[in-house]
Amino acid sequence: MTAYQELERRHARIAAIGDALGILGWDTQTIMPEGANDGRAEQTATLSVIAHELATDPRMADLLAEAEAGAGDLDAWQRANLREMRRHHVHATAIPADLVEATSKAVSVCEMTWRAARAESDFAKLLPSLTEVLARVREGAEAMGAVMGISPYDALLDAHDPGARAERIDALFTDLAAFLPDLIGRVLDRQASQPAPLLPAGPFPVDRQRDLGVRMMERLGFDFSRGRLDVSLHPFCGGATGDVRITTRYDEANFADALMGVLHETGHALYEQNRPRAWLSQPVGQARGMAVHESQSLLMEMQACRSPEFITWLAPVVREAFGGEGPAWEADNLRRLYSRVERGFIRVNADEVTYPAHVILRYRLEKALIAGDLTLPDLPGAWNDGMAELVGVVPPDDRQGCLQDIHWPGGGWGYFPSYTLGAMTAAQLFEAARTADPEIVPALSRGEFAPLVTWLRVNVHETGCYHASGDDLLRAATGRPLDASVFKRHLERRYL
């Protein structure tokens, strides 16, 4: 067995442990009884340590050096896999095993505390466990940054999106922050000059909402023999290789939030279900960073499923699903309703125009928290100040403010920028797809996604991590790296 073949064998074992952790994570957020949290924290910490020990085995460094010396004998996919193995090794060896275990335990405790604190709108209840998570995350980021020669926050960004740096994101987000206020004002003025869209009258029974969601998942191409739909406090896509599980949450007064949540998470799920089959257990077979992953969910939800063409097809479907009648259920009304721009408190319910402002707020706050420029006790006030500045509203309580997201309690620091980078990527990919296949948009007007998904499968899903970065993937798929002007043009075209 060659050094490269031995590396493949070892990474397949690490991937299997990751899949087990994925199923445990899904269970924790969906059906695990509250009293099982201590045991689950121990289980996930143990598996995390085992995976970390495998990844940091001293033999790994020797195998990587030997395989790299013989890289000329490898094919292009194997060389890309070896590149990703090296990247994983750098990240893994920078953080000691005891810190991996401590972080995993802190996150497990904090996630469960967050559920109760959010329900009670009690930030003080979350503060002790979130303080512990932040300390562990900061310690890991400092260790990673020291090894890679970058700042702690850049190290967190790099873990989610290889090559991502705060300096570039600062420039992109400063540009967006300057563009958005005028755009939001113009869009709101335009809306005010038109009749307000009518809200379809409920209630909308949960069983019918679920049936509709399943039907839409099937239309998009989700394979239910390798996945499922469930309910959680915060919608997500998780599970394991070959077992992709998405969740949503239901409100009997509003079917649109659950439906759009399902469409969003199905975009993630299609990426996972269509990763390169020959490389599923290898680093090169994984998704190419979280900005690209978010682009797949936002492309489906925002670019495709909120398009006038798709809503024209969707209108009679939802009318039949809920027994609706009257002008509120007409396609033109639903189109105006689902392109409605409002200054709101909740990120996951935000429209496409104000959403980047929510992300910019979180980016600024978490960067300050990691750097020590902001303390956690001051977070609620800083959050509310930022919401007033960027979105133009102040949350009435912490449940609708700094307690709304699971990311920080869950250890997902440095992730938030991926959402808006993903929205920009989605606009660029959708523009390239429409240009490459003029049948894509007419197919959406018939509720058919095969042309779009086929293009995405070839240009994104099945490429895994073959390309070294998200920009390299974009160059191959669209002919250029990430270009913010495409996203701005999309927003102006749709909303003005």
Active-site annotation, residues: 265
DSSP 197: P
Amino acid at site 139: E
Sign for the CA dihedral angle at 83, 88, 91, 95 comes to negative
What is the rounded CA–CA span in Å between residue 37 and residue 66? Answer: 43
DSSP 201: P
465 burial (CB, 10 Å; 0-12 / 13-18 / 19+) is buried
Q: What angle do CA 409, 423, 268 make, to 5 degrees?
A: 65
Q: Where are the alpha helices (DSSP H) in 194-254?
A: 206-220
What string of DSSP letters covers 145-166? HHHHTS-HHHHHHHHHSTT--H
Q: Identify which of 169, 149, 147 has the alpha carbon closest to the alpha carbon of residue 157.
A: 169
Check: CB of residue 404 under 8 Å from CB of residue 346: yes
**Residue 203, preceding bond cis, omega within 30 degrees?**
yes
- Coarse DSSP helix, strand, coil percentages of the chain, rounded to the nearest 5 percent: 70, 5, 25
In Å, what is the CA distance from 128 to each residue of 106, 107, 131, 379, 413? Answer: 10, 12, 5, 13, 17
Q: Is 211 helix (H, G, I), strand (E, B) or coil?
A: helix
